[in-house]
Amino acid sequence: MDGNGRWAQQRGLPRIEGHRRGVETVRRVIDSSREFGVRMLTLYAFSAENWRRPQDEVGALMGLLELYLKRELQTFVKNRIRLRTIGRTQELPAGARRQLQHTIEATQGFEDYTLTLALNYGSRGEVVDAARAYAAALAAGEVAPDDCSWESFSRHLYTAGLPDPDLVIRTSGETRLSNFLLLQAAYAEFVFTPVLWPDFGKDDLAQALAEYARRERRYGKTSEQCRATEHAQQH
């Protein structure tokens, strides 16, 4: 969700105004993606590196998160949206943590749509946390050294139970991954758009999905093999 700060600066507004507008985009993108049949959405809302921002901006972002969760709870319940998080959320301020816990518990039974918020998230930190948990599982004899595999390791990532992302969209013209789902996005398609996050709308999402639909995902195979499998599945 990149470009909130620039959106505000272009209008001579404080950066936090960009983040406020960014929250409106969050609402819009959830609605549009549901309409388009998307079942899972992960938003990179606060990276482990974002603590380096000015304190008042960090505080304002945490406040916005708390307010957003309070306001949306009814909508989540009405639309059967399950909330979950990835990241070291135990390090977030108490107010945000409480509201997250409350929303997660109130929506845990829903299966129509999963909204995952990446909060205090960083891929490298996630790998370190997973490696620590995996080592403990090995030491406890829950996993035999000969049985080490991506499958058993990935159960210790924050994303355990979530499928890998099919499509990663980054707004605002930046073409970096910035420590986001580095392992999970191994086979993801990427769409980079110059649109700033506060301006990102239903049409932009439709365009990104159309672009995704045009891509051929080969997972190491040849085009011919993929077409043959597709043909076999259709007949």
Point out the annotated binding site for substrate.
Answer: 3-7, 15, 19, 47-49, 51, 53, 170, 176-178
Token readout for 3 is: 């470009």
Bridge partners for 168 per DSSP:
190
Nearest distance from C-beta of residue 18 to ligand FPP, angstroms: 6
Minimum CB separation from ligand FPP for residue 117, in Å?
A: 5
Active site residue 120: no
Nearest-angstrom CA–CA distance, 164 and 15: 32
Partners of 28 in the β-ladder: none
Check if 203 is active-site.
no
CB of 178 to ligand FPP, least distance (A): 10
65 φ, ψ to 5°? -60, -45
Q: Where is the binding site, in residues?
A: 2-7, 15, 19, 47-49, 51, 53, 170, 176-178, 189
Using Cβ positions, the residue closest to ligand FPP within the complex turns out to be 5
Q: In this complex, which beta carbon is closest to ligand FPP, that of residue 53 or of residue 202?
A: 53
Pick 21 or 156: Cβ nearer ligand FPP: 21
Q: Among residues 22 and 208, whose Cβ is nearest to ligand FPP?
A: 22
Q: How far is the CB of 7 from ligand FPP (least distance, A)?
A: 7
Residues in touch with ligand FPP (CB under 6 A): 1-6, 19, 22-23, 26, 43, 45, 50, 61, 64-65, 68, 117, 172
Burial class (CB in 10 A: 0-12, 13-18, 19+), 222: exposed
Nearer to ligand FPP, 134 or 180 (CB): 180
Active site residues: 2, 50
